[in-house]
Chain A
Amino acid sequence: MKKMSLRRLSAIAAVSLSATVLSVMPAQAATTIKVITPNYTDDMPAYYADLNARFMAANPDIKVEHTNLSWDDILVKGRTLVATDSTPDILNLNTFSDYAAQGLLYKAEDLFDAKTLADFVPAFIDNSKYDGTAYAVPDLASARMFFYNKQMLYTSGVKKVPSTWKQVTAAAKKIKAKYPSVYPIALPLGSEEAQAEFAIWAGGNNGRYFDNKTKKWVINSKANVQTMKYLTSLVKKGLTQPSPASTNRTDAFKLFSQGKVAMINASVFFPSTLKDYKSKVDYGIAPFPHSPRGKSITLGVQDYFMAFKKPGNEAAVKAWMNFLFQPANYAGFLKAAGGFIPATKSASTAVDSSLLPFIEQLPNAIFYPGDLGAWPKVAGTLATQLGTGVIYSPKSVLNKIQKVAVAAGTK
């Protein structure tokens, strides 16, 4: 009896033990990763839903919690999550360098093998480096060009697409005279992307934010002040939409798509945006106008995928990132994102012909100093403050931003 009970007891113990082990085992092996990405277009959530379903089927021990956010939201929310310790495992964003500087990110070489890494376009992977090491990978890139409404330009008597600042002013005046209710040129200096709009105009006047040779911030340089003065003159003459300082890029796109703006600086994805808006505008594309002192440039902008170091997540984030960059999956990503320049060499061979004029501009591309840890802070201040340069004194506004940049440092 005594023996019996002991045996029973041990049997029960063994059964219950194995039961616990069984129930614990899969829970221990399963890793959950949080992925946060912006919606380049409304097709992105569907693309990721499919991608993650296939990924989880192939990797039953990894669970993906995916959040799709609008660009507007991810800039604030994505960064807020990191700042409040709810860091995602994988983030797709337009900046990475301050996270790299603070040691939060995996190195690209820890995530990808040499062959995959070598497939990224060199210029783009170079822009993903902090202090000489890549801590992020490019997901796509954009270049920008000057878009104009053909019918409006030609019927207003503009014979040649403007290629200098002087010609822009002259053409704008003609359009204004012919179409009083049209805003000849859009100047979106609102907080969504003022730093891009200004970089384009200033770039054509040899103005930059950061001097790579002297390693100094040059936001209040003479060239930049001249640029701001020129833009202010366009505003003062009533050749832009009202209140450029608070007009966001998206607002300006809508105005162009409705035929209420005749000329605009826009990115490589703009044609697909116009299609989404069901715009009937017949548009042309040209290199950016420049000042007599400068030459035409384009602004190259790229976004990044980065993975945050967290205990036990390395294998899972590695698997997901590599899955995304498998050629077929990456092609789907580019398609859903809508008309961007691919970040890998292999995908570049199969681009749509409409991208070619933009790719041709890339040798003249200027980039943000995205490799500086201070860049996100400076970019944020540029975004909110640059626009006020056309309201107040150009010089004092640029001086103010320069002060913030200098305080943020050059690391």
Chain B
Amino acid sequence: MTALDVGAKGAKVAGVAKKRRPKNSILNALPWIGPALALIIAVVVWPAIELIKISLTKITSAGALEGFNGLENYRMLFENPDLGAIVMRTLVWVGSVVSITVILSMPLAQLINQNFPGRKFVRWAMIVPWAASVVMTSIVWKWMLELTSGEFNLTLRQLGLQDQPVDWLRDPRYSFFVLIWVAVFVSIPFTTFVLLAGLQSIPNDIIEAAQVDGATSWQIYRGIKFPLLRNALLIATIINLINVFNSFPIIWALTRGGPGYNTDTTITFAYKMAFVEYNMGPSTALGVINFAFIMLIVLIYLRVTKATRGQL
């Protein structure tokens, strides 16, 4: 018997098994996937259906439902003159926070992948902003950036760089950029550690081989590490997209989306409409749109992970 025969036989056996499977496969699998499926239906599918149902219902400011309302809630939402600017801001928010985070995290991941004394401490310190509650981090920033007594303005004044204190969080000229910075600050640890895991999964022998061939460290990074990091980079980007889009506490704790709607994203805007302005109807419509956007990113995520899995 040759090796080829065994291979052919194996393929045949596999083929038979494959043929038999479709008949009962779902029923057979049910006991295993059933509990997970039930959970998904209970916490994802059902609320999503409820959300869509409510968005088509007339709803009072005290939350009472008053019957089918067609697309009226959506019409009210799209008639809102501020919606366009808020959608644009949301795109800028997600785009800039995610790209700045990823760009800063790449060198940081390189750094903490090196062997140096105190590495353990640096890694530990880096994880703190992520481990701490986002609201807590936001409040610390709020204090630091406070108008008259914040550490930031005091320091600038003592250095003689400022005559009048700047209102970082309340002045709409600065506040959005401050929010972006705090969001980057909070997102960097997670991203860096995902990239670090990616770096550590690169086999050492490839890098050693390149070194033996005389490649410079930049060439090694460009030619070997970066291409092999692609997977980690994609995952980090997409998870950040979802996180940053959904980010509510940073904006709410620092500016409440104000002044007016000047620092609102579609997430904080939906909340503000419902629970500050008691305008429930259009808020439910925006909730559905936010959900659809997240679904879109998840679909892209699934597509991308499928594609990369095929490659590796």
Contact = CB atoms under 8 A, between A and B. Distances in A.
Interface in B149-175: 164-167, 169-172, 175
Interface residues of B, number: 32
A362 interface: no
A246 B61 contact: no
Interface string B269-282: 00010111111100
A190 B63 contact: no
B89 to A, nearest CB: 15
Contacts of B198: none
Contact of B277 (A84, A99, A251, A377): A377
Contacts of A102: 60, 62, 64
Interface stretch (B34-42, B90-98, B185-193, B255-263): B255-263
A243 B173 CA distance: 10
B235 interface: no
Contacts, number: 99
Q: Name the interface size band of chain A.
A: 35 or more
A400 interface: yes
B201 interface: no
Contacts of B276: 75-76, 191, 380, 383-384
Interface-central residue, B148, B275, B276, B277, by most chain A CB under 10 Å: B277
A403 B207 CA distance: 66
Interface in B110-166: 147-148, 164-166
Nearest to B166: A242
Given A80-B275, A377-B279, A384-B272, A191 B258 contact: yes
B158 to A, nearest CB: 14
A85 interface: yes
A387 interface: yes
Contacts of B64: 102
The B contact surface, by secondary structure, is: loop
Given A380-B277, A388-B262, A99 B62 contact: yes
Interface string A94-124: 0000110010100000000000000000000
Contacts of A83: 61-63, 274-275, 280
Nearest to B257: A384
Contact of A242 (B61, B62, B170): B170
Given A258-B148, A377-B277, A243 B63 contact: no
A376 interface: yes
A321 interface: no
Nearest to B277: A380
Interface of B: 60-64, 81, 147-148, 164-167, 169-172, 175, 255-256, 258-262, 272, 274-280
Give 6 nearest A-B pairs by CB, closest first: A83-B63, A245-B259, A388-B260, A246-B170, A243-B170, A380-B277
Given A102-B62, A191-B276, 19 more contacts: A76-B276, A79-B278, A83-B61, A83-B275, A83-B280, A84-B63, A98-B62, A102-B60, A243-B171, A245-B258, A245-B259, A246-B175, A376-B278, A377-B278, A381-B279, A384-B258, A384-B276, A387-B259, A388-B262
